Amino acid sequence: MRTVKRLLLPTYLGLSLLYLFLPVLVVILFSFNDYQGRFNVRWQGFTIEHWLDPFRVEEIPQALGVSIVVAALSSGIATIIGTLIALALTRYRFRGRSATNVLLFFPMATPEVVLGSSLLGLFVAMGTGAGFLTLLLAHILFIISYAVATIRARIVGFDRHLEEAAMDLYANEWETFRKVTWPMILPGVFAAFLLGFALSLDDFVVSNFTAGTIQTYPLYVWGAARRGIPAQVNVWGTVIFVVTVTVMLLFLWGQRRRQQRLGLA
Amino acid sequence: MTAGVAAPPVLSPDGTERAARRRRRVPYLLLAPGLVFLLVLYVVPLIALFRTGLQSGNLVSGYEFTWEWGNFLQVFTTYRPQLLRSLLYSVSATVVTLLLGYPLAYAIAFRTGRWKNLFLVLLLVPFLIPFLLRTLAWRTILADQGLVVEAMKAIGLLPEQGGRLLATGWAVLAGLVYSFLPFMVLPIYVALEKIDRSLLEAAGDLYSKPSTAFWKVTWPLSLPGVISGTLLTAIPAAGDYISVQLLGNPQETMMGNVIENKFLSVIDYPAAAAISITLMLAIVIAVIFYVRSVGTEELVA
């Protein structure tokens, strides 16, 4: 009885991981499916044909290119804005601080369909229509709050006395920021950029409302879902997966080394 | 926390005052770009959306602002099935995700020892596969004559004749639970991780059974995480329309489907706006309740 009890949680943990990875395995597996017809939904045999010809459906790499550009720009801008906000919220006490917290929380708590529709309403009312710029602005908007949360967690975590020590040694505020604060929060800023990049790359709902005729990778997948998804979608999905996992692991590994070097771990 | 980074070097009484005044402006300067952005692209559009919800007319002759509260009334009459279904899916997805997620967060926080970070990474990695592909993968997994359906038929959970998961509410629920599991697990994990382990030892020293220690110590201390997790699941689940579209029955739609359809296909802006705003107001009420119980610092952090 006792062993059963002790094995209960680890078993549960294992089953949960299996459950979490099941769709991942399906996506990867079906990039090797030798299917007939338009619908790649039933396993029919193994082939590497789709991997040898990833550019056969030109729309996919094109859409992915748009997604990457939008993700890099929107996450970059949102991270800069978010860093400034995070610094203000953690380093200063000022009137309107609670209100700012609430204002930052709401975009995260707003369902994407509401966010997207309200933005489309604005763009229609302003007569700008929807396109690359509106898509970019919409992505920046929904990334900002996540960027602030990530960077602020990092700032709260480090020792304030280091900044005070720098000031005591006659560094002015700018020097203190550049030589002490910035290097300390840099991993948080970088993490925020990566998170924002991933959120933007994967966004469908907000993009569906604000992209106009611009096609991102998720928008292409959505459109293709009705007429049958070519296996190249799975090929590129697998590529995105492998690349993002690698970047995430490299980042974590770099963090660990940094901490070890600083003697924090 | 005190104001500013540290006391400014004292020059003259006059200079100090000017420096202090300048310092008071710093946080506002730092906030300015972000606040302008959020005001123009978040607050203004929501107010405009509310206004749109009070318009009447049609696509051909144009819409006019007429205080048409009927649009909002419609949400509770014409779209009552969608409203109730969104509520039902949201609540049941949240309950199931909590039941699955809490033990998972608990196992990672208390049972993985030095491998903790590895398990956290493993929890997040599956979500790096594009979202739509993940949901479409569930379509393959839950397909008629698929492994899951056949297995459930074999043990009698589904009827042999015509038993299916795809295009039913169960598939929608499965999709929602899967999508939001990490949003439930992570906040609970963070809350559990913060618990001072000596409290649990103390409970043990005072002869409390492990189950008593859990309900008297661990559970109450993990509540902030549970509240965050349930909000982060219930809110997006209420607005979801992808799971229904890809996994569910196209006849049994949610509020999100109506909004999308009215906005992008039918072009009936007032109706879509009224539904959006109603959804948003329900969330505002939930969040106010939440702020009352934990405070604003916890919101973003």
Q: Which of A23, A104, A113 sits opposite B134 (nearest CB)?
A: A23
pLDDT of residue B266: 78
DSSP string spanning chain A? Answer: -HHHHHHHHHHHHHHHHHHHHHHHHHHHHGGGB---SS---S---B--HHHH-TTSSTHHHHHHHHHHHHHHHHHHHHHHHHHHHHHHHHH---TTHHHHHHHHHHHHHS-HHHHHHHHHHHHHHHT--SSHHHHHHHHHHHHHHHHHHHHHHHHHHS-THHHHHHHHTT--HHHHIIIIIHHHHHHHHHHHHHHHHHHHHH--HHHHHH-TT---HHHHHHHHHHH---HHHHHHHHHHHHHHHHHHHHHHHHHHHHHHHTT--
Å from A48 to nearest chain B CA? 19
pLDDT of residue B298: 60
Q: Which of A98, A125, A137 sits opposite B41 (nearest CB)?
A: A137
Interchain contact, B276 vs A110, CB within 8 Å: no
Chain A interface includes B37 (CB < 8 A)? yes
Å from A156 to nearest chain B CA? 9
A-B Cβ pairs (cutoff 8 Å, strict): 255
Chain B residues whose CB is inside 8 A of the A122 CB are: 41, 44-45, 48
Residue type, B272: A
Chain A interface includes B183 (CB < 8 A)? no
Chain A residues whose CB is inside 8 A of the B280 CB are: 110-111, 114
Angle between helices B70-77 and B269-294 (to 10 degrees): 80
Structure tokens at B101: 């997620």
| Residue in B with minimal Cα distance to A107 | B42
Interchain contact, B125 vs A120, CB within 8 Å: no
pLDDT of residue B2: 42
Which single residue is written with the structure tokens 């700018």? Answer: A174
Chain B interface includes A39 (CB < 8 A)? no
DSSP string spanning B258-273? Answer: HHHIIIIII--HHHHH
pLDDT of residue A263: 66
| Residue in B with minimal Cα distance to A19 | B178
Q: Within chain A, which residues score under 50 in pLDDT? A: 265
| Residue in B with minimal Cα distance to A221 | B132
Interchain contact, B126 vs A209, CB within 8 Å: no
Answer yes or no: is the ipTM higher than 0.90.
no
Residue A249: CB partners within 8 Å, gap ≥ 6? B121
Å from B51 to nearest chain A CA? 10
pLDDT of residue B295: 61
| A115 neighbors A141 (Cβ within 8 angstroms) | yes
Mean pLDDT by 10 residues, chain B (301 residues): 47 63 84 93 92 80 77 85 90 95 93 86 90 91 83 82 84 93 92 86 84 88 88 89 88 88 84 89 79 62 48
> Of the candidates A249, A164, A230, A17, which has an alpha carbon nearest to the alpha carbon of residue B123?
A17
Chain A residues whose CB is inside 8 A of the B260 CB are: 113, 117, 208
Å from A242 to nearest chain B CA? 9
Ramachandran assignment for A228, one of left (phi > 0), alpha (psi -120 to 50 degrees), beta (any other): left
Interchain contact, A176 vs B5, CB within 8 Å: yes
Chain A residues whose CB is inside 8 A of the B231 CB are: 109
pLDDT of residue A265: 46
pLDDT of residue B3: 44
Chain B residues whose CB is inside 8 A of the A113 CB are: 239-241, 256, 259-260, 276, 279
Interface test with A, best of B41, B65, B255, B269 (most A CBs within 10 A): B41
Q: Which of B43, B178, B263 sits opposite A209 (nearest CB)?
A: B263
| Residue in A with minimal Cα distance to B132 | A218
| Residue in A with minimal Cα distance to B40 | A122
Chain A residues whose CB is inside 8 A of the B269 CB are: 121, 124
pLDDT of residue B10: 47
